[in-house]
Amino acid sequence: MTQLPRQPREIEAESFRRIEAQVGAHGLAPEVWAVVRRMIHTTADFDYLTIARVHPRAVAAGVEALRAGRTVVTDTRMLLAGIRSRLEKLGVEGLCFIDDSQVAQEAARRGITRAAAAMDKALPHLAGGIAAIGNAPTALFRLLELMKEGAPPPALIVGLPVGLVGAAEAKEALLHQDIPYITAAGPKGGSAVAAAVINALAIMALET
């Protein structure tokens, strides 16, 4: 019987070794590969090698924002929970307004999703920070609307909403923005993948 690693660091190292072995030569810059590799590691889905879309300035913008202590706003509590420990090491505040009572009231009044209304609530915290969206296409659409209306943009948008209704379209719209982004083509995504991206950036920010 094959002896498998038992300790978390050993398991992660072996996972990365197997990813490297299966992928082989990929042609990605080291810092971009660090992000994409962690997306694959989190999902066991090698499609991310070809569907990941990383703006040329995205990694540098994200690492710089984290080192500067800029706020990270997420669309779900699950995503926030997945990145909290590394954000704390960096002294970075993480915020999520999805369960805010005012957001719920505003969403009901306007007939929109709470995820979309939460982006309005998050607006004062987004300028120069990082917006991380891993669940709701409506959150990403609303963020792009706010920017179109003149809202100061985040330093980086991690836009990875998941699903068969609106997710691919929201991410396609993100690709046409003149702002650093990390996303993926098609319907795949999710809070765990968005957390993987933020964690990859945080690891780089903590290295120096």
pLDDT tens per residue across span 63-120: 999 999 999 999 999 999 999 999 999 999 999 999 999 999 999 999 999 999 999 9
User: What integer pLDDT is reported at residue 95 of this predicted model?
Assistant: 98
Residue with token string 């990383």: 54
Q: What are the respective helix, strand and coil percentages of the chain, to the nearest 5?
A: 55, 10, 35
pLDDT at 8: 78
Looking at residue 5, its pLDDT comes to: 65
Q: What is the 3-state secondary structure (H, E, C) of 119-163?
A: HHHHHHHHCCCEEEECCCHHHHHHHHHHHHCCCCCCCEEEECCCC
Phi and psi based region of residue 52 (left: phi greater than 0; alpha: psi -120 to 50; beta: remaining): beta
User: Can you list the domains of the chain with their CATH numbers?
Assistant: 28-95+126-207 (3.40.50.10230)
Residues in CB range of 177: below 8 A, 6 or more apart: 144, 147, 157
**Residues recognised as catalytic:** 41
pLDDT in tens, 153-181: 999 999 999 999 999 999 999 999 999 99
- Whole-model pTM: value is 0.94
Tokens for 99? 């369960």
